[in-house]
């Protein structure tokens, strides 16, 4: 169990930890000289009945509130310290607000310096504390009257803390390993050491990890859990990691960085959707206000975009989005402390809901419904977030299928475990490579019905087409769906015979490619002109002039005829009858048999056309793979192309 102190400056937090553990948490020379805690300090007393207890002593001065915030990240029990002479002070209230916003609901209260005041003063301060805690999870907490100078009450408080450590539930490690770095230093003989509290998952000596934001990979050479050498650590532990790897040194790691499992993608988040709460004594917060944000040991600046209004009033809650000036690492459920633009006051807190919000439709009813389901899942959870409702909502709202990999990163779960949760809801999970989507039965049925509808419409508009090319069909039906997944969705329609495939084209089984009635009439007019000059037929503009028809109409009809194999598009706006192309192919074979290759001059003479056209026709045969050019000769490659 990790206990974190909270309270105003000079209320005796450090002295109290020393009385409880015999360890001084002020490690800096300046702290010892001034008698003032500046950085968070740590104490790990000897094991009692094999139960581990750790203390984090945070600074109480308002100037070092950012250090306090980095220190309390990850604690699970607070030790609220109030001095009997001063009573409840500004930082007492602010620390309490911060711990409540961080979701820390367990703790005890120490009323220090009891030897310096009269009994009546103790009664007054007790009333102040009870008023402060009213309505909070600590409302009924026992208040221990102690003195670090005389030792009064220390034994009773110590017994209480060790009993709580013994009775505390061991958290089940969830998800991939994550640790917020609050200290980084180099130790002689070991190298880089980083410390923090394990936010999620577990880790062992020899594991590989990744650093954020540097994205460097490292190996765990050694670790200390609660100040003791260990082989393994887990969620909730206070941890020191000895890391090694190429480019991994003190220059690449600093407070606010993260150490995470290599299996967890760490994109740079610059927009994060949150559930925001404004404190009752804070001023109203307007849309697009500049703020300071603290997550884990990170401290960044940014703006708040309100998603449900233009202003958030004191004591109220609203869905919002953080737009960050510095990229951040976050997962759903992470707690954020929000301070004003000048970093002078804590004004509220937030819970991370989604680290990959869309650029558009951020305020749509469907999007807000999804975020609200995530908020409810976080609020309803103690350790293991119940994801059934967010997943159900995602299935309902995303007709193109929720992205399982993206959700797994946001929830800090493995894709396989999330796929099982989707399947438990009756969904079908389809995967291909690094793409995985989940579909409700209704969504799959609707998607396949849409596929058939689009194919049918295309047949009516383009009767000469063999069908609809698969990629074009995907773009028409659901462009956001990856190609490999679309193929898997289409496959059952082909297996059932509802669709048939001809090369890259998909069609209905009964579809037979043919010209439309109007194009067929036009073909009957145009075909004699093509037959009259088989090796030098009129071009499109000439055909249009001969029949007094729009040029575009002739071009469209001949393009459709080419799809049916009636003509070949040999050069721009120059179509040859299929039988003419076959005859020219036979001529090339005959020339090769006679001369060893088809030469331009001999081919020109055979056709009875000009040299320029003969060259263009031979280039057409090269282009389609029937021949290949060797210097000035053309050699047959595929003699069986038309047989």
CATH code of the domain in which 191 resides: 2.40.30.10
| Separation of alpha carbons 252 and 176, rounded Å | 22
Among the candidates 472, 507, 542, a domain finishes at 507
Among the candidates 136, 167, 198, a domain finishes at 167
72 and 36 in one domain?
yes
Q: Considering the domain boundaries, does residue 35 fall inside one?
A: yes
pTM: 0.80
163 and 182 in one domain?
no
Q: Considering the domain boundaries, does residue 145 fall inside one?
A: yes
Q: Are 538 and 529 in contact (CB under 8 A)?
A: yes
Q: Considering the domain boundaries, does residue 272 fall inside one?
A: no
406-415 confidence digits (pLDDT tens): 999 999 999 9
Average pLDDT over residues 321-349: 93
For residue 387, give every residue at least 6 positions away whose Cβ sits within 8 Å of its Cβ, in sequence order, or none.
Answer: 377, 411, 413, 418, 421
196 and 157 in one domain?
no
Average pLDDT over residues 263-283: 92
Cis peptide bond upstream of 213, omega within 30: yes
Question: What CATH number did the domain enclosing 490 receive?
Answer: 1.10.10.10
**pLDDT for the residue numbered 539:** 96
Give the start-end residues of each E strand in 296-366: 298-306, 311-312, 317-328, 335-339, 346-354
What is the average pLDDT value for the chain, to the nearest integer? 89
**pLDDT for the residue numbered 587:** 95
pLDDT of residue 594 exceeding 70: yes
Q: Considering the domain boundaries, does residue 429 fall inside one?
A: no
33 and 160 in one domain?
yes
118 and 242 in one domain?
no
Among the candidates 141, 167, 193, a domain finishes at 167
pLDDT of residue 42 exceeding 80: no
With bands split at pLDDT 50, 70 and 90, how would you rate the model's confidence at 592?
A: very high
**pLDDT for the residue numbered 268:** 82
Lowest mean pLDDT among 58-62, 346-350, 471-475, 510-514: 58-62
**pLDDT for the residue numbered 485:** 94
Q: Considering the domain boundaries, does residue 401 fall inside one?
A: no
Give the start-end residues of each E strand in 84-168: 107-112, 143-145
Closest CA to 282 of 349, 221, 203: 349
pLDDT of residue 571 exceeding 80: yes
Token pair of 577 as six digits: 């009858």
Closest CA to 265 of 191, 227, 212, 317: 212
pLDDT of residue 95 exceeding 90: no
155 and 7 in one domain?
yes
Q: Considering the domain boundaries, does residue 106 fall inside one?
A: yes
What total number of domains does the chain contain? 4
pLDDT of residue 377 exceeding 80: yes
163 and 184 in one domain?
no
**pLDDT for the residue numbered 33:** 59
197 and 145 in one domain?
no
% of the chain beyond a pLDDT of 90: 65
Average pLDDT over residues 346-361: 92
Question: What CATH number did the domain enclosing 85 receive?
Answer: 3.40.50.300
28-41 confidence digits (pLDDT tens): 666 555 565 667 77
Q: Are 508 and 454 in contact (CB under 8 A)?
A: no
With bands split at pLDDT 50, 70 and 90, how would you rate the model's confidence at 64?
A: low
**pLDDT for the residue numbered 170:** 58
Q: Are 55 and 6 in contact (CB under 8 A)?
A: no
**Residue 216 CB: number of other CB atoms within 10 A?**
17
Average pLDDT over residues 586-612: 94
| Separation of alpha carbons 424 and 442, rounded Å | 15
What is the three-class DSSP state of 483? Answer: helix
Q: Considering the domain boundaries, does residue 22 fall inside one?
A: yes
With bands split at pLDDT 50, 70 and 90, how would you rate the model's confidence at 595?
A: very high
194 and 106 in one domain?
no
154 and 232 in one domain?
no
131 and 13 in one domain?
yes
| Separation of alpha carbons 24 and 32, rounded Å | 10
Q: Considering the domain boundaries, does residue 490 fall inside one?
A: yes
Average pLDDT over residues 152-181: 84
636 and 562 in one domain?
yes
Domain that holds residue 446: 441-507
């Amino acid at each position: 169990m990790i206990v974190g102190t909270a309270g105003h400056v000079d209320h005796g937090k450090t002295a109290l930890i020393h009385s409880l553990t015999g360890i001084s948490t002020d490690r800096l020379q300046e702290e010892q000289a001034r008698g003032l805690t500046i950085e968070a300090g740590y104490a790990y007393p000897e094991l009692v009945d094999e139960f581990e207890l750790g203390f984090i002593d945070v600074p109480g001065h308002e100037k070092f509130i950012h250090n306090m915030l980095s220190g309390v990240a990850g604690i699970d029990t607070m030790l609220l310290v109030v001095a009997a002479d001063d009573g409840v002070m500004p930082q007492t209230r602010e620390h309490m607000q911060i711990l409540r916003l961080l979701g820390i609901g367990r703790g005890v209260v120490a009323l220090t310096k009891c030897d310096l005041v009269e009994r009546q003063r103790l009664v007054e301060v007790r009333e102040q504390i009870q008023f402060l805690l009213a309505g909070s999870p600590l409302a009924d907490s026992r208040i221990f009257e102690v003195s670090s100078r005389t030792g009064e009450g220390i034994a009773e408080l110590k017994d209480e803390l060790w009993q709580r450590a013994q009775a505390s539930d061991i958290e089940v490690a969830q998800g991939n390993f994550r640790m917020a770095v609050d200290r980084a230093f180099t130790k002689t003989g070991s190298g880089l050491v980083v410390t923090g509290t394990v936010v999620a998952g577990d880790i062992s000596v020899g594991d590989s990890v990744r650093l954020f934001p540097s994205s460097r990979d490292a190996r765990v050479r050694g670790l200390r859990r609660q100040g003791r050498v260990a082989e393994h650590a887990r969620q909730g532990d206070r941890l020191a990691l000895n890391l090694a790897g190429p480019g991994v040194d003190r220059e690449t790691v600093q407070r606010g960085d993260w150490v995470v499992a290599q299996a967890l993608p760490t994109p740079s988040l610059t927009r994060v959707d949150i559930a925001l709460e404004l404190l009752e004594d804070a001023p109203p917060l307007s849309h697009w206000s500049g703020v300071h944000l603290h997550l884990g040991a990170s401290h960044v600046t940014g703006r708040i975009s309100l998603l449900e209004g233009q202003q958030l009033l004191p004591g109220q809650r609203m869905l919002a989005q953080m737009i960050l000036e510095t990229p951040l690492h976050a997962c759903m459920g992470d707690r954020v402390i929000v301070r004003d633009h000048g970093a002078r006051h804590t004004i509220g807190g937030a819970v991370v809901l989604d680290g990959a919000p869309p650029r558009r439709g951020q305020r749509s009813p469907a999007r807000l419904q999804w975020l609200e389901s995530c908020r409810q899942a976080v609020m309803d959870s103690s350790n293991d977030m119940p994801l059934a409702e967010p997943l159900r909502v995602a299935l309902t709202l995303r007709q193109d299928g929720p992205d399982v990999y993206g959700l797994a990163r946001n929830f800090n779960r493995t894709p396989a475990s999330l796929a099982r949760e989707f399947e438990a809801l009756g969904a079908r999970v389809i995967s291909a490579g690094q793409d995985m989507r989940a579909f409700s039965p209704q969504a799959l049925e609707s998607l396949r019905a849409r596929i058939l509808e689009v194919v049918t419409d295309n047949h009516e508009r383009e009767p000469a087409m063999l069908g609809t090319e698969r990629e074009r069909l995907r773009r028409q039906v659901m462009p956001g769906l990856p190609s490999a997944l679309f193929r898997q969705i289409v496959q059952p329609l082909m297996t059932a015979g509802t669709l048939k495939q001809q090369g890259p084209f998909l069609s209905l089984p009964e579809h037979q490619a043919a010209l439309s009635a109007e194009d067929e009439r036009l073909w009957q007019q145009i075909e004699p002109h093509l037959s009259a000059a088989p090796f030098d037929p009129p071009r499109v503009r000439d055909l249009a002039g001969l029949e007094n028809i729009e040029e575009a109409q002739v071009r469209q009809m001949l393009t459709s005829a080419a799809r049916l194999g009636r003509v070949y598009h040999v050069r721009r706006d120059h179509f040859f009858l299929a039988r003419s192309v076959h005859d020219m192919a036979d001529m090339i074979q005959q020339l090769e048999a006679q001369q060893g290759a088809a030469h331009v001059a001999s081919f020109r003479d055979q056709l009875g056309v000009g040299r320029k056209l003969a060259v263009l026709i031979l280039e057409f045969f090269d282009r389609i793979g029937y021949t290949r050019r060797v210097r000035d000769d053309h050699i047959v490659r595929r003699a069986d192309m038309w047989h």
